[in-house]
Amino acid sequence: MQAAYVIIGAGSAGCALAYRLAEAGKDVLVIEHGGSDAGPFIQMPAALSYPMNMRMYDWGLKTEPEPHLGGRTLAVPRGKVIGGSSSINGMIYVRGHAHDFDHWAAQGAAGWAFADVLPYFKRMENWHDGGHGGDPSWRGTDGPLHVSRGPRTNPLTRAFVTAGQQAGYRVTPDYNGAQQEGFGAYDATIYKGRRWSTANAYLRPALKRPNCRLVQALARRVVIENGRAVGVEVLRQGRTEVIRAGQEVILAASSLNSPKLLMLSGIGPGAHLQDHGIDVVADRPGVGQNLQDHLELYIQQAATQPVSLFKHWNLLGKTMIGTQWLFTKSGLGASNQFESAGFIRSRAGVPYPDIQFHFLPIAVRYDGQVAAEGHGFQAHVGPMRSVSRGSVTLRSANPLDQPKILFNYMSDASDWEDFRTCIRLTREIFAQPVFDPFRGDEIQPGAAAQSDADLDAFIKEHVESAYHPCGTCRMGAQDDRQAVVDPDLKVIGVDGLRVADSSIFPRITNGNLNAPSIMTGEKAADHILGKRLAPSNDEPWVHPNWQTSQR
Binding residues for FAD: 81
d(CA 282, CA 402): 22
Most distant CA atoms of the chain, gap in Å: 71
- Other CB atoms closer than 10 Å to residue 326's CB: what's the count? 12
DSSP assignment letter at 203: I
SS3 content of the chain, % helix, strand, coil (to 5): 30, 25, 45
Query: Taking a C-beta distance cutoff of 8 angstroms, is the pair 233, 244 a contact?
Result: no
Does residue 273 sit in helix, strand or coil?
Answer: helix
d(CA 309, CA 376): 8
Strands (E), 339-453: 340-344, 355-360, 376-383, 391-393, 404-406, 439-444
d(CA 485, CA 85): 22
Q: How many CA atoms lie within 13 A of 162 on its CB side?
A: 11
Question: What amino acid positions are annotated as catalytic residues?
Answer: 468
Does residue 210 sit in helix, strand or coil?
Answer: coil
Q: Find how far residue 449's CA is from the centre of its chain.
A: 31
Q: Find how far residue 89's CA is from the centre of its chain.
A: 8
Strands (E), 332-483: 340-344, 355-360, 376-383, 391-393, 404-406, 439-444, 464-465
Cross-strand partners of 219: 234
Expressed in angstroms, the distance from the first to the final Cα of the chain is 58
Query: Taking a C-beta distance cutoff of 8 angstroms, is the pair 498, 247 a contact?
Result: no
Q: Is 226 exposed, middle or buried (0-12, 13-18, 19+ CB in 10 A)?
A: exposed
Residue type, position 73, single letter: T
CA angle 121, 126, 131 (to 5 degrees): 115
Strands (E), 252-375: 267-268, 282-283, 295-303, 340-344, 355-360
Residue type, position 422, single letter: C
Query: Taking a C-beta distance cutoff of 8 angstroms, is the pair 58, 51 a contact?
Result: yes
Sign of CA dihedral 105, 106, 109, 110: positive
d(CA 436, CA 25): 60
Query: Taking a C-beta distance cutoff of 8 angstroms, is the pair 64, 394 a contact?
Result: no
Q: 514-529 vs 12-23: helix axis angle to the nearest 10?
A: 30
Q: Which residues contact 414 (CB under 8 A, 6 or more apart)?
A: 386, 387
Residue type, position 397, single letter: A
